[in-house]
Amino acid sequence: MQNERKTQVVGAGKPALGQPRGDYVNMRVDDVLQPHRQREIATLVERLADFRPTKIAVEVPPDEEAQLNADYHAYLQGRFALTRDEVHQIAFRLAQRLGHPRLYAVDWLEDLPDGLDVDFETFAQAHGQEHLLAQALHAAQARVARAETILAQEGLIALYR
């Protein structure tokens, strides 16, 4: 039997570092351009680099991949100032650190099945399930509150861990 190498995928959940976002529940993040956060981001990038990923995918709609990589190449050439966005702060730096020629745009909402209703509020109201939506919202708010506490008390590395 041959020794087959299986593809390994590591997913790194990430808070939105550049505010504001249009998510249903948003986390409050202090200014990641401040020196102490920049030091944390540099450490995080080094720790992620230890995994030696061969590809880096980021949550960006696929139809924006060309612009994503144009910005990344401008960054490599010193012609793009990193914004507060986590794609710029973490993915661009990680890809540069590892010598990657490009990033890959993926979007978890890109290929929804036909007819899927993603208007959760309308669906919940139409089906008498407002209580389920309220429970989900409460759970999301609790997760965000916990993440905000971790960020404030332990820092960005602990939040990602």
CB atoms within 10 A of CB 107: 15
Q: Give 1-50 pLDDT, tens digit per residue.
A: 556 777 666 666 666 776 555 666 778 888 889 999 999 999 999 999 99
- pTM: predicted TM-score of the whole model, two decimal places: 0.79
Mean pLDDT of the 109-129 span: 73
Q: 60: which 2 tokens? A: 């960006």
DSSP for residue 79: -
Calpha distance 45→42 (Å, rounded): 5
| Angstrom distance (rounded) from CA 6 to CA 55 | 15
Distance CA 71, CA 65 (A): 10
Choice among 41-45, 91-95, 110-114 with the minimum mean pLDDT: 110-114
pLDDT, the chain, mean: 86
CA 119 to CA 12: how far, in whole Å? Answer: 27
Most confident of 13-27, 64-78, 109-123: 64-78
